[in-house]
């Protein structure tokens, strides 16, 4: 499915913006990941861009995970996938408490004789932006990531302090957090302290201070590149 066709279907639906949609779609076209994982789909806008890219390259699959409540969103991910005719590319999973439990089950499914066989080439992490949950999610996802696979974090600079409307997330009452936890971007801390220090990751790139990429490369290319999203730079855009 072409980029402009999927863009029209998701127009006005939260949350992913058009620049990010462009990046996600073209990432799939350029890197041709066979198996993708998405942690946090909300209405399914990002899921649709990934699925449209898979359709365009003629194959691949996306596992997308959210909380049970995402089924009640209007529209929900299934509705958008139906509209686009992309259902066959996506398995929708929902957990009562957290995607970390889905990851536990996936590690179990991939484990034989005490070793976990990696199965994903791409993982997009766009959930609670919380040190405890997403820090753990990184280490769990790592067990499932194939060599040369990419992890992408959304919300690099997101802080609780800049979103006072959000009283609670994942059973955590925001006002019960320390000032440091409220004011520091958790995803940036996870990326800087866990991902960039992990010996298996390299080719780090932060786009617009919002998206952070890392590749499982046994550490090649440890420099951190700072770049911009591309859609708004297009001549024909």
Ligand X SMILES: C[S@@+](CC[C@H](N)C(=O)[O-])C[C@H]1O[C@@H](n2cnc3c(N)ncnc32)[C@H](O)[C@@H]1O
Positions in the binding site for ligand X (CB under 6 A): 15-16, 40-43, 45-46, 65-67, 70, 95, 98-99, 126-128, 133, 170
User: At its nearest, how many Å lie between ligand X and the CB of residue 62?
Assistant: 12
**3-state SS string for 183-207:** HCCHHHHHHHHHHCCCCCEEEEEEE
User: At its nearest, how many Å lie between ligand X and the CB of residue 157?
Assistant: 14
* Residue 125 or 145 with smaller CB distance to ligand X: 125
* Residue 104 or 200 with smaller CB distance to ligand X: 104
Polymer length of the chain = 237
Burial of 61 (0-12, 13-18, 19+ CB in 10 A): middle
* Residue 16 or 206 with smaller CB distance to ligand X: 16
* Residue 147 or 167 with smaller CB distance to ligand X: 167
Q: At what angle do helices 99-109 and 131-144 cross, to 10 degrees?
A: 20
3-state secondary structure of 65: strand
Residue 189 per-residue DSSP state: H
Compute φ and ψ for 205, nearest 5 degrees: -145, 135
**CA 6 – CA 159 distance, rounded (Å):** 30
User: At its nearest, how many Å lie between ligand X and the CB of residue 185?
Assistant: 15
User: At its nearest, how many Å lie between ligand X and the CB of residue 180?
Assistant: 21
User: At its nearest, how many Å lie between ligand X and the CB of residue 198?
Assistant: 21
* Residue 96 or 234 with smaller CB distance to ligand X: 96
């Amino acid at each position: 499915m072409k980029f402009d066709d999927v863009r029209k279907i998701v127009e006005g639906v939260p949350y992913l913006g058009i620049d990010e949609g462009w990046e996600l779609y073209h990432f799939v076209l350029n890197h041709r990941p066979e198996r993708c994982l998405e942690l946090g789909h909300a209405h399914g806008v990002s899921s649709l861009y990934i699925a449209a890219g898979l359709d365009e390259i003629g194959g691949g699959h996306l596992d997308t995970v959210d909380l049970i409540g995402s089924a009640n969103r209007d529209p929900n991910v299934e509705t958008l996938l139906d509209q686009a005719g992309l259902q066959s590319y996506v398995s929708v999973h929902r957990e009562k408490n957290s995607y970390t439990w889905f990851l536990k089950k996936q590690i179990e499914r991939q484990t034989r004789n005490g070793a976990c066989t990696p199965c994903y080439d791409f993982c997009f992490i766009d959930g609670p932006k919380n040190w405890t949950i997403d820090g753990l999610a990184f280490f769990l996802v790592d067990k499932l990531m194939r060599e040369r696979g990419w992890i992408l974090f959304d919300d690099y600079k997101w802080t609780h302090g800049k979103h006072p409307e959000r009283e609670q997330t994942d059973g955590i009452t925001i006002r019960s957090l320390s000032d440091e936890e409220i004011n520091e971007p958790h995803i940036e801390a996870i990326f800087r302290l866990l991902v960039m220090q992990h010996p298996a990751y390299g080719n780090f790139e932060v786009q617009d201070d919002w998206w952070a990429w890392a590749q499982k490369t046994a550490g090649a290319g440890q420099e951190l590149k700072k770049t911009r999203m591309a859609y708004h730079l297009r001549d024909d855009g």
